[in-house]
Amino acid sequence: MLGSIEYLTELDLKCNYESIIALRNSSLENDSQVFYFDPRTIHWPTYIENYLIGTKKYLLNEDLHGVPAAKKHLKTLRNIRWLANIIIGVLIWRLLIAKSQPARNLWYLVLNLAAKFVRFFRISSTMIKH
C-alpha cells in the first residue's frame, strides 16, 4: 500500500513562497479569479487533517471507523507524556533544591517575588472604588 505514495514522498520539490507570489502575479486576471490560490488564507491544521484523512481513505483504501478511537488514544498518550514530563521536572528540581544551595536560593527568590506580586495585586484591587 505504501508503495503507491512512495513516488510522492521521494520527490525533491523546490517550492517557496516567492515562487508562489511570482506565479500569482504572472497569471492573467481571469485565471486568478478562477484559480484562486493564496497560501496565507489556508488554515493549516484543518488542511493537514483533511489531507491525512483523504490519504487514508482514498489512497490507502483504509476504513475510517477507527479514527475516533485513534484520536482518543493519541490524546491519552499526549496527556501521559505531559504528566511524565512534569513529574520528572519536579523530581529533578527537588533534587537540585536538596543538594544545591544556589538552586535553593533561586527557589526562595521566586517564591518571594510571587508573594510580592500577589500582595501588590491584593492591595491594588482594594483601592479600586466602585
Q: What is the DSSP string of 60-78?
A: S---STTHHHHHHHHHHHH
Q: Where are the domains of the chain?
A: 3-64, 100-130
Read off the pLDDT of residues 91-122 as tens digits, 9 standing for 90 and up. 988 888 888 888 888 888 988 999 999 888 87
Return d(Cα 26, Cα 29) in angstroms, integer. Answer: 9
- What does pTM read for this prediction? 0.45
Helices (H), the chain: 3-10, 17-26, 29-34, 44-54, 67-99, 101-126
Return d(Cα 23, Cα 18) in angstroms, integer. Answer: 9
Residue among 113, 112, 93 at smallest CA distance from 103: 93
